[in-house]
Structure 1
């Protein structure tokens, strides 16, 4: 008579009855529950952590691409010698034929638009408050095309009146006590050249729009000024500092670099990856480290399955002897006790997935509650750069957590299951 195929129905039935057995009947229901809860909590923590890390990276990249250029084209500084004094001065590189350069860049395949920009740092003040600001001079059309800045859901004021004043970040407006209609004073150290030296340039501008880009460092330092006014204020008449390029595929921005360099001979390129690559690499490394650490927690929880199965094998020695006597092979006994551990791992993993998904979907609300109860100290935007704790559930992260949990659960059951399979039925029944 042929042996039944592996993992037959009776093997599942025996394994399930052993798991459901009460302690008085030789079961280990308490240990089973401990193992199941431990695995569920480990998988929940792993899924929630991976979702938060993915959400944090996605939010960070979205704020970069939504408020900053994908690539910047600029000329390097040059040196000028004074014929009278023989002194050498270093001057910033400027682009004089910027309209033509911007048109050539915008015509390149994969480029959405190219914006001429004047940039400079100033001290901004209003009343008795002051702070450092970074001014971007650009046209009203270019400002309206920046997604994170021109978003009516987060900004207030009249962005169409940009030609009459400046747009200020929400963080700077809050620190300086500015609102729409107020005036902000900008002081630049690079002003007019006089016989007595360079005098600071001071200008007063009306705030017509307040924006929130979603990044604390941007909202706290950035001011947008009309291009013509910025050219006059920073002594850039007829020139700009750089051409900001926005691509259709920001993730593949490096492929555009050769074409950008050809559009402006002698120029240099600075992409968003160059600006934030180190931080994104650190996030990737942190993701890997967190996965390894939480994998150890899942392994520790899975080890409870081994303890429970060892106790189960010891308590079921008589049953094992009887099963072997009536014809069960070593392989069948091994599969029965393997299924006991596998059931616990599968149920714990399923419970962990449900809890982890629920936690990831509500992590922002939970963090908001914790932040409220702690008086606002649990989430500091000035440290983390963004205003909320995001979470992004990805199928690959859930699959990694499930695969890890099931693999560890199956592996740790092999040793006690083999021990049960190798038990001598004569020895098991000798004292019965």
Structure 2
């Protein structure tokens, strides 16, 4: 007589029993209500996790892009030295030769000499403290965020006939294209009575929006030769602005650029300038993930309470099934399917909601801003103009793995309790 073989794990009858238990009627203890509560809790927790990770990733990506798109990836300047007049200075006297040497470094995309100075801008009886960047027209055209025609007004072809203003500066001064702005520098012309402020008016020929509040609110670009005259930098530059092909890996270019720049040259990278803020964002990302993981765990614990109620209400059924020949493993798998199915459906719903939130964050945020009366997002505090979101596969996978892992783990304990229930005890009082 052939030996009977036991059915494989997760056989169809186990799925059938689990499905009937999941659809328990309200009169049977409200198990279906607990199932819905568990499912909704997990869906909301996964949604919150994916939405938060997407917003954090989008904020970091936007912040880094505004840094890399409107600033030097590497700044080359000179250590303090004494010039021909006996004054202490950090200017670059041989900036043209230095720039040519730096351009030969592999991975360097663009090198631009700069003259920089802080002045007071005046127009329409309004004042603003600004930072002036003296730069050549072709080099300005290479700054991606500044030269973007979709966000700028005016033409760079007219740049050498005036100055380029950040949109925030233009708004603060109340000026537009073709208007005149006076720049007032305290370090002006030396006279017999001391140094008199230098005051000169320039036509606004270009207005840009770099996407960063602090840049648009404080920055003005001026033709390089004009800036040399205005700031008394004849024949010298203040620094070199270096753009590289791999800004995220700027560390591997530092040594080569410093050697090419020559003796006395110092370098300052974008990570040196913003590294503290980026590290703070990374720490905040990790802390937020841990906090929201606790939220997912709390939601998953609802599965435990629902299964415990289910096991208690189905004690008689368990006793009968065990006397009919169901093994402990089969009973465990039945209740494991009940809990795991709730976790899977809840996780899937949470993933869908989280992805939709990340994709349609702009209209959602606009609606929130409208109903709250505006002013929800203050760019002067957060630096960028809108709440961004970047949906990343790694974030979705981590959220799914966390939710399903916790759902499966917490399901095991009440399932084991059901499997180890003594059928005699379960049927004694029936």
Q: Same fold (TM over 0.5)?
A: yes
How far apart, CA to CA, are the structure 1 residues paired with 2:220 and 2:29? 74
Which residue in the other structure is 1:405 paired with? 403
| Aligned ranges 1:111-126 → 2 under 5 Å | 111-126=108-123
The answer on whether the counterparts of 1:70 and 1:272 sit within 8 Å (CA) in structure 2 is yes
Large movers: runs of 4+ above 4 Å = 79-82
Question: Is it true that 1:56 corresponds to 2:56 in the alignment?
Answer: no
Choose 91-100 or 188-197, whichever is displaced more: 188-197
Question: Is it true that 1:236 corresponds to 2:233 in the alignment?
Answer: yes
The answer on whether the counterparts of 1:18 and 1:27 sit within 8 Å (CA) in structure 2 is no
Q: Superposition RMSD on alpha carbons, in Å?
A: 1.4
How far apart, CA to CA, are the structure 2 residues paired with 1:218 and 1:26? 62
SS of the residue 2:242 aligns to = strand
Which residue in the other structure is 1:6 paired with? 9
Question: Is it true that 1:378 corresponds to 2:376 in the alignment?
Answer: yes
The answer on whether the counterparts of 2:29 and 2:309 sit within 8 Å (CA) in structure 1 is no
Which residue in the other structure is 2:170 paired with? 173
Unaligned runs of 5+ residues in structure 2 are none
Deviation at 1:11, TM superposition (A): 1.4
The answer on whether the counterparts of 2:121 and 2:183 sit within 8 Å (CA) in structure 1 is yes
User: Which TM-score applies when normalising by structure 2?
Assistant: 0.97
Which residue in the other structure is 2:198 paired with? 201
How far apart, CA to CA, are the structure 2 residues paired with 1:182 and 1:55? 37
Which residue in the other structure is 2:144 paired with? 147
How far apart, CA to CA, are the structure 1 residues paired with 2:184 and 2:365? 40
How far apart, CA to CA, are the structure 2 residues paired with 1:337 and 1:130? 72
Which residue in the other structure is 1:85 paired with? none
How far apart, CA to CA, are the structure 1 residues paired with 2:29 and 2:146? 67
How far apart, CA to CA, are the structure 1 residues paired with 2:68 and 2:173? 27
How far apart, CA to CA, are the structure 2 residues paired with 1:10 and 1:188? 86
- Which of 105, 108, 112 does residue 105 from structure 2 map onto? 108
Question: Is it true that 1:35 corresponds to 2:38 in the alignment?
Answer: yes
| Residues 305 and 106 (structure 1), Cα distance of their counterparts in 2 relative to 1, 3 Å cut | same
Unaligned runs of 5+ residues in structure 1 are 83-88
The answer on whether the counterparts of 2:83 and 2:89 sit within 8 Å (CA) in structure 1 is no
User: Which TM-score applies when normalising by structure 1?
Assistant: 0.96
Which residue in the other structure is 1:227 paired with? 224
Choose 214-223 or 332-341, whichever is displaced more: 332-341
- Count of aligned residue pairs for this structure pair: 426
The answer on whether the counterparts of 1:77 and 1:90 sit within 8 Å (CA) in structure 2 is no
Which residue in the other structure is 1:86 paired with? none
SS of the residue 1:112 aligns to = strand
Which residue in the other structure is 1:366 paired with? 364
SS of the residue 2:293 aligns to = helix
Which residue in the other structure is 1:349 paired with? 347
How far apart, CA to CA, are the structure 2 residues paired with 1:79 and 1:152? 43
The answer on whether the counterparts of 2:43 and 2:350 sit within 8 Å (CA) in structure 1 is yes
The answer on whether the counterparts of 2:177 and 2:204 sit within 8 Å (CA) in structure 1 is yes
Deviation at 1:408, TM superposition (A): 0.9
Deviation at 1:26, TM superposition (A): 5.1
Deviation at 1:375, TM superposition (A): 2.9
